Structure 1
Amino acid sequence: MVNEYKTVRCFGTGELKIRKSRFIAYVQPADTEKEALEFIENIKQKHRDATHNVFAYLIGLDREIQKFSDDGEPNGTAGKPILEVIKKESLKNVVVVVTRYFGGILLGAGGLVRAYTKGAKVGIENAQIVNKVLHYNYKLKTSYSLLGKIQNHIINMSQIIYEVSYSQDVSLGVYVKYNKKDFFEKVVMEVTSGQVNISNIGESYISFQQGKAIL
């Protein structure tokens, strides 16, 4: 399993005008090729009157699926440069479409490569690059008297308390980074002298931007 990877946080778009041609970029995270193809089709329907709807996508945490289309632009001048931007940014699970409305002035092969490259970069920037980091999802149940001590230690370990619920006992939901799992369990058991019910209920990729978790 991949412990960390880069992708985009959300849908993003941006527009450029280059020698009277309009280049409109659309970017979206996509976990499957089906999601990527649906996104591309939606953009094509939105811009049925466009001269070109060029796309590229890279799917899979091991980069298993990499595809692109020039959609009528000269071979190698559009889709491939977009894919190269995705790869240069080390992104995974992302789809990019750059729509072009021809403005009447030919850009030449080099100009097209630069235009589609710049369009992809603008779209990706607006979709916000994030780091996805594997975390284990823990549920803790303990007494009210131990709550403060447990919370302080979790915060000091820089792990994420995402939920606290109160009933006869206190339950906490905690995301623990993949390489802190054993240390976390050890510390929690030590500070409570074993007076805690602790269970690992699954795994999740948590988004981080500039070192801050986005929940």
Structure 2
Amino acid sequence: MTRYPDSIAAAVEHEIVIKKSRFIAHAIPARSVPDADAAIAGIRTQYWDARHNCTAMITGVRGDQARSADDGEPSGTAGMPMLEVLRRRGLTDLVVVVTRYFGGVKLGAGGLVRAYSSAVSEALDRAAIIHRRELVAVSVEVPHTDAGRYENLMRDWAARHDAVMDQTGYGARGALLGVRVSPELLDRFDADLAAASAGLVAARRGEVSVIDVPAG
């Protein structure tokens, strides 16, 4: 099974204070570099009076685009440590911005690295994680009178096999039930459906796509 980096479901904000300096971390979903740039511009506008707005981003379904910036901090003390947190967590399609209001006490290079890394790490601890999974669309057409029974069967199967239900459609000939199934479980689904329907109902396989699935 192909594994993809995770992402976050929604933006989070977290602040830490170290030796009177405030570090305000924002982690924001971003599906593309332009999305990330727009998020960064918004934070910089909001915190226009801060001395530093340091950034790190990873985008692409495989996490193949990455960028960071120290924004005036000593080279390598902010952006790269922030980016390393994202990489260690196995995340993509997000940008993190850490705003620093200087408190008058210098932290040194090591102190800055720890501060920016901690701000990002603690913010991500508060984020809702979503997993990216490669799933196959499977559809099952049944008579209207049987739709409720088969929908319940499929929901129960999906819950037990980590699959994802699609919305049910209704047409002139019957109800169209959909579920997203891991490729390695397709034969199991077919067999279980055949057993539940005494061989009267068969599934049709459709496209393969990468789906966001909430963690847990």
Query: Residue 40 and residue 119 in structure 1: after superposition, are their counterparts in 2 closer, same or farther (change >3 A)?
Result: same
- Residue in structure 1 matched with residue 204 of structure 2 by the alignment: 198
Distance in structure 2 (CA, Å) of the matches to 1:53 and 1:117: 14
Secondary structure of 1:66's counterpart equals: strand
Distance in structure 2 (CA, Å) of the matches to 1:62 and 1:171: 32
Q: TM-score, normalised by structure 2?
A: 0.84
Q: 1:118 is matched by which residue type in structure 2?
A: S
Q: 1:34 is matched by which residue type in structure 2?
A: P
- Residue in structure 2 matched with residue 181 of structure 1 by the alignment: 186
Unaligned runs of 5+ in 2: none
Distance in structure 1 (CA, Å) of the matches to 2:111 and 2:3: 38
Q: 1:155 is matched by which residue type in structure 2?
A: D
Q: Deviations over 1:68-95 (max 9, x none)?
A: 0000000110001000100111112221
Q: 2:117 is matched by which residue type in structure 1?
A: T
Equivalent residues in 2 for 1:25-44, closer than 5 Å: 25-44=25-44
Distance in structure 2 (CA, Å) of the matches to 1:48 and 1:90: 31
Number of aligned residue pairs: give it: 210
Name which of structure 1's ranges 138-147 and 99-108 shifts more when overlaid on structure 2. Answer: 138-147
Distance in structure 1 (CA, Å) of the matches to 2:166 and 2:201: 21
- Residue in structure 2 matched with residue 207 of structure 1 by the alignment: 213
Alpha-carbon offset, residue 5 of structure 1 = 2.6
Equivalent residues in 2 for 1:98-137, closer than 5 Å: 98-137=98-137
Which of the numbers 154, 175, 199 marks the counterpart of 1:170?
175
Alpha-carbon offset, residue 196 of structure 1 = 4.7
Equivalent residues in 2 for 1:122-161, closer than 5 Å: 122-143=122-143, 144-145=145-146, 148=149, 151-152=152-153, 155-156=156-157, 158=161, 159-161=163-165
Q: 1:90 is matched by which residue type in structure 2?
A: G
Unaligned runs of 5+ in 1: 211-215
- Residue in structure 2 matched with residue 78 of structure 1 by the alignment: 78
Secondary structure of 2:149's counterpart equals: helix
Structure 2 contact 20–104 (Cα < 8 Å) conserved: yes
Structure 2 contact 164–180 (Cα < 8 Å) conserved: yes
Secondary structure of 1:14's counterpart equals: strand
Query: Residue 186 and residue 63 in structure 1: after superposition, are their counterparts in 2 closer, same or farther (change >3 A)?
Result: same
- Residue in structure 2 matched with residue 69 of structure 1 by the alignment: 69
Structure 1 contact 25–123 (Cα < 8 Å) conserved: yes
Distance in structure 2 (CA, Å) of the matches to 1:12 and 1:89: 16
Distance in structure 2 (CA, Å) of the matches to 1:65 and 1:146: 44
Q: 1:21 is matched by which residue type in structure 2?
A: S
Distance in structure 2 (CA, Å) of the matches to 1:91 and 1:199: 30
Alpha-carbon offset, residue 134 of structure 1 = 2.2
Taking only aligned residues, the RMSD between alpha carbons, in angstroms, comes to 2.5
